[in-house]
Amino acid sequence: MSGEKHQRYRALNRVCRQEDRQCAFFSLPDPQYREPVPRHATESRMKNHTEIKVRGYHLDLYGHVNNARYLEFIEEARWALFEEHLGNLAAKGYSFFVVNININYKSPATLGDTIEIDSRITRFGGKSCTLKQTMTKKGAGTPVVEADVTFVIAGPEGKALPVEGDIRDMLEPFAA
Amino acid sequence: MSGEKHQRYRALNRVCRQEDRQCAFFSLPDPQYREPVPRHATESRMKNHTEIKVRGYHLDLYGHVNNARYLEFIEEARWALFEEHLGNLAAKGYSFFVVNININYKSPATLGDTIEIDSRITRFGGKSCTLKQTMTKKGAGTPVVEADVTFVIAGPEGKALPVEGDIRDMLEPFAA
Amino acid sequence: MSGEKHQRYRALNRVCRQEDRQCAFFSLPDPQYREPVPRHATESRMKNHTEIKVRGYHLDLYGHVNNARYLEFIEEARWALFEEHLGNLAAKGYSFFVVNININYKSPATLGDTIEIDSRITRFGGKSCTLKQTMTKKGAGTPVVEADVTFVIAGPEGKALPVEGDIRDMLEPFAA
Amino acid sequence: MSGEKHQRYRALNRVCRQEDRQCAFFSLPDPQYREPVPRHATESRMKNHTEIKVRGYHLDLYGHVNNARYLEFIEEARWALFEEHLGNLAAKGYSFFVVNININYKSPATLGDTIEIDSRITRFGGKSCTLKQTMTKKGAGTPVVEADVTFVIAGPEGKALPVEGDIRDMLEPFAA
């Protein structure tokens, strides 16, 4: 890579690597680029990976994470997903409204487990999209919970916006 | 039923209905009474009705009840449902495990709303059942949330029990 | 008061007390009644009594109500206290801000317990007041938690208002 | 350092550095040790630093973190504190019971803030100790909450153990 392009990529990578989860979305501007490329050149999709350690206050009478608490976990993962890549949604005038959650409880998570949450958009509809959020136990990879979260992006007036143009561009990186 | 017996059942039903949630399980006081009668002469199904007032700590940044919090509301309604009519499930060695929740968020509930929750079993499967829990705003009846909660009853060893015999009898009164 | 009027007030009080929280603000039905009387002939202070049943989702790994959850319980009791007697605080432009909570955990509440919460103002300061909220187990009266909640009432600008005039009148009924 | 001691320190350091927060507590066994020492040689006290990002579901009607939610934050910090340095308390037969929390709400945390929590024991009593947990906003260092958490360590029988011997050693590293 020429010195100038290399500089540019270094700058982009620096932003990209600042924190593992903070990954600036950039497209490869130069189709002639043939040299070994920064980590994310081949990954045009961003993935979100959130880890949560199960604590005593997450549990209920059965010694398992309570089924309502899992919804806070996947909400935490959604905030991390959108925050890292989209800035503050609210500040831009958008609201993220959940219209349906279909959640399967596969096996219980208990004290001492670290839960990994992966979130990807599996469906782009006319006005709504579906985000599949999968929780597994770190290490063993045991499935804990799988949730399909159907949401809309609403504008300042509170109405669901069509998933096209800017909205589509905003969500595209999170596609499966 | 004869007029006299009918009166006696009315009296028992009155005790039974004093508060919606307080429903005495009464045994037939009259050993001479030989006709098989439903537990509630006029109501062959028990219904559960739980009311919850929306408070400030239920809300999130949008000023609406948070979507995880609704799951605590429907769990509250399930506890009331089973407690009132079935005694302490845990004490009898049964566990109530939720395997899937499909929840539709129809319109937001906010500070000042009183939510009414109605819960009825809409499906009896081989080992699992589905409980439909419907939340509306008291007064207007505006739909807030509708959830289908699929659950199993597990025995002391933690295994899902077939929905038959005692288990079926236990759940039958909650059918839609 | 004459014996007859006393009887009438007793009757009105009975309606008034049917449910602790439901307290009908009644106007004097008898236009001939000319003596100024307190709203509750025998009770010049209003007390708040909130009951909460302990459910599975309230517990943590020790099988006891989690210590953060108790703070939601006492907040529930505060909302009931102010709502019943003061209308919608927010609608009147006031905010209730907690500045300190000193909470003693005396004995744990567990599944099946019904907690009774009593709330009374024990201190009126220049700008802050202290509300003592006491939780006991219904029936046995076993102390569960005792909390001193110091709060201010803030006006629309967010500044704590002096506890005098309207503010003092608003809070006076809740004095111990 | 001799090869053998160096090996020992390398091993200790490996444990020490595995994750930033996981820092094995070891004392310097060899006063003659003059070579550059592992990072923690000069820090005989372990500090715990937990960071929590404020999300939408943490807030209440005022758009601030709800006062009950702060108690979950400081509990999260306690779990991290004890877990990192003491292994799984429950597995060792100990329970950590909070007997009092005195919490001052200094300034509200809102969406977008990252809260830093510092936790140190400020008092060793006969059977109880006090842990001061201080929350500030990352960056500005604005005080958010300051809490004094008085706790006991209970043995398998549930009784508070005297703060001496093993118990004292276990807690000493967390002293202010």
Residue C26, pLDDT above cutoff 60:
no
CA–CA distances in Å: residue C100 to residues C82, C148, D110, D144, D147: 18, 8, 18, 12, 9
Among candidate residues C60, C113, C118, C166, the one labeled active-site is: C60
Q: Which domain holds residue D55?
A: 3-174
C63 — contact with chain A (CB < 8 Å)?
Answer: yes
In chain D, whose CA is at the least distance from the CA of A95? D56
Ordered per-residue pLDDT tens for chain D, 176 residues = 455 544 544 444 443 333 333 333 333 333 343 333 333 333 333 457 899 999 999 999 889 999 999 999 999 999 888 876 555 566 778 888 999 999 999 999 999 899 999 999 999 999 999 999 999 999 999 999 999 999 999 988 888 999 998 889 888 989 98
What whole-number distance in Å separates Cα of residue B85 and Cα of residue B96?
15
Q: Which of residues 87-106 of C touch D (CB under 8 A)?
A: 90, 95, 97-105
Backbone φ and ψ of C52, nearest 5°: -135, 130
What whole-number distance in Å separates Cα of residue A165 and Cα of residue A115?
35
Q: What is the average pLDDT across A73-84?
A: 88
Following DSSP, what letter does each residue of C12-23 receive, concatenated? Answer: HHHHHHSBTTB-
Alpha carbon of A68: minimum distance to chain C alpha carbons (Å): 8
**Quick check: pTM over 0.90?**
no
Q: What is the pLDDT at residue C92?
A: 75
Q: What is the pLDDT at residue A4?
A: 53
The tally of domains found in chain C comes to 1
D72 — contact with chain C (CB < 8 Å)?
Answer: yes
- Which CATH number is B138's domain given? 3.10.129.10
Residues 6+ away with beta carbon under 8 Å from A27: A44
- Set of chain A residues whose Cβ sits within 8 Å of the Cβ of C61: 56, 59, 63, 111
Identify residue A109 by its one-letter amino acid code.
Answer: A
What is the DSSP secondary structure assignment for residue B56, as one 8-state letter? G
The pLDDT-based confidence of A29 (bands split at 50, 70, 90) is very low
C66 exposure class (CB count in 10 Å sphere: 0-12, 13-18, 19+): buried
The pLDDT-based confidence of A86 (bands split at 50, 70, 90) is low
> Which residue among A57, A61, A111 sits closest to C111, beta carbon to beta carbon?
A61
What whole-number distance in Å separates Cα of residue A24 and Cα of residue A12?
7
Q: What is the average pLDDT across C45-51?
A: 69
Q: What is the ipTM of this complex?
A: 0.73
